Structure 1
Amino acid sequence: MTVTAITPPPHSTPAGLALGFLTGGVVGASLAAFISGCVVEKASLIVTGLVLPAVYGLVFFLATLPRRAREAAVAPRTALAVIESLEAAGGETSDVPVRFDLTVAPDDGPAYRAEIRQDIHVAELPDYRPRGIVVVEYPPDRPWKVRIVKRPTPEWEERAAVARVDSAPGPPMRSESPAGRADGFLTLFGLLLGVAAVPALFRADLFPSREGESGAPPRPSVSSSSTTTVVSATGTVTLGPGRSMLDEGDLRKALESLTQGGDDRPALTVVVRDRLLTVVFSPGGANAAGFDPRSLPYDRLPGLVDEAGSGVGSPRSWQLTADRVTGSLRLRVVVTGDGGTTTLEADGQGKVLRRSGS
């Protein structure tokens, strides 16, 4: 039998390298977008992470459809082969992956070596042994893609029973060549590039703290020991340790920090605690219902808190609420201490109207 060289399967090609790079980029971008979206609770990022691989898979399927159709139109060839060696890998199912080293002997060409992996049912493993003859099929243009025919026709089964196939020299061709260094490098580079592209493209979504919800610059803090936050219709000011909203001038400065810059929206509710100020603004603008938070009787507030806490022993906490749901502005002070809780109500000028509790 004459033995000639057969063209081995192609390794890295420009198209294969580009495909590996693109696949790595899509995988990296999808994972980064999905994880980032879950962390910052952005639906757009989560949807991007889910849709991107689906779109990529659809495009890949449509792009390779003509090639796969051409390959499917080519009738496979049938030949005899001898098992040079085989090695079964462990599996958790009834089908065990087996690596076969075969010498394939086509009727119209030279014999050649091929290494393949194929799943074999565990009950059929004894039928395959070294130097055993099997019937195989392969595409004529890709002879390395060999598959063992488990149920050959009676004619080929009869031929395999009486045939003798000599071993072919040379290293076996592999149906799936291992990826080279260039393939792995480009895939990894694409993966990292995809991960880095997400923060660049969705910077506004991932880092919203650098600008307000309306796109305006953040409002400045009262001082280096306090923090001011404005989100939509709610503004908060938190003082640093050792300070209190009852300290002279601190509550006024805190309210001015939320209303500076021409923001004259009325407030629906103002809630003051020891180190925290919360203002809920009216979403309707300057003409909406509410009151001007700067009109509070600042000088009377410490006295109201002291008066409400005079009957509760050692005060532990206090809260002042100002609102004008209907009618005129009302102030409500609640102080809790060792001796119970006292509630005090006053008008917009700080005049006490009623008191209840301890």
Structure 2
Amino acid sequence: MSQVVVITGASAGIGRATARLYARRGASVALIARGRDGLQAAAAEVAELGGRPFVQEADVADVAQVEAAAEATEKVLGPIDVWINCAFTSVFAPFDEIAPEEFRRVTDVTYLGFVNGTRAALARMLPRDHGTIVQVGSALGERAIPLQSAYCGAKHAINGFTSSLRVELLHRGSAVRLTIVQMPAVNTPQFSWVRSRLPHHPQPVPPIYQPEVAARGVLHAADHPERKQYYIAAGTAATIWANRLAPALLDRYLARTGFASQQTDAPASPEPDNLFTPADRLPTTDHGSHGAFDDRAHTRSWQAALARHPAATTATALGLAATAMALRRRRAPVRGTSR
């Protein structure tokens, strides 16, 4: 029997790339998002790749809609094995230029959307004592940057919520697993539809990775949820550790570079955004998984690849260490007694 997987934010970006990976496994994939055209295109890809798609239009900020989508999924596809929270939205602007209703909307989708999805998943997984929940996090959940106060706040909240819930599951001895995948900058369509008040077109802070790199990390985390979190790409781990070791220094660095690094040289264009309205209302109805930065995005991450193969990594490290020790012994001068 195939896995039943639910993915929120499945119409584009990381969610859509992850859906394709599960489709290649022959999984049954429930695709949840607001955008009808993107969902239908994602469903066609899942079916073409060998999976079984099930489309559910829902706003994750609405707990009733998420619950209804979960209920419909189990009626059609069967018991949910994996639930992946991936939906989000953002506003690029200094905090004092973000309206209260905009800040609330980002929080409702990017944080409470994860809470709502987790609640719906647990309602079904806990009685069966089976299932895995994957939170798609961000390096910005530990190291905030300027111009994204609402998004950074939501991602920080996800980390706290997930840690608290994980301890509760451990306390009750539950077999339900919960893990989080911390993402780097990813080339998704969000930078073409995000609400922005910046003078230039927004961009992810380099280095940038393709959604497929992120999706492979999500898939691995779902298969190996015993680790409480995964870092995708070396830059993510470096950012998080730099923040832990020298946060004040990083504050000053981001104060100097954080505004320019999130903007291209192209002037901002007055295009509609997806904050309150689904992206398929925009001129391009299906945005796919990739954004506008294909020419700058990495297709591989050596750090993520090593994380997926810990045994091979350990063996390689031990082999290199043994070789280094052998070379050191060979080069060491022979000491003896003089006559």
For Structure 1 versus Structure 2, the TM-score category normalised by the shorter chain is under 0.3
Write 1 or 2 for the structure with the bigger share of strand: 1
Q: Which has the larger radius of gyration?
A: 1
Write 1 or 2 for the structure with the bigger share of helix: 2
Calculate the TM-score normalised by the size of structure 2: 0.21
Structure with more contact order per residue of length (Cα contacts < 8 Å, sep ≥ 6):
2
